[in-house]
Amino acid sequence: MPINTKAKPSTCTRCKQPIWDITIDGVRTKLDTSPLPLADELQARLNKQRTFQLHQDRPTFTASLRHQHNIPATKPDTIVIAQHQCQGDTMIATGHPDYWPKSKPTQNQEALF
Condensed to tens digits (0 to 9), the pLDDT of residues 3-24 reads: 888 889 999 888 888 999 999 8
Q: How many domains does the chain have?
A: 1
> Per the domain annotation, does 47 fall within a domain?
yes
Render pLDDT for 47-85 as a digit per residue (tens, 0 to 9).
888 999 888 766 778 888 888 776 766 677 788 899 998
43 falls within a domain: yes
Task: Print the domain residue range for 61.
Answer: 8-112
Query: pTM (2 decimals)?
Result: 0.67
Domain assignment of residue 2, yes or no: no
Contact predicate 94/49, CB 8 Å: no
Other CB atoms within a 10 A radius of the CB of residue 13 amount to: 9
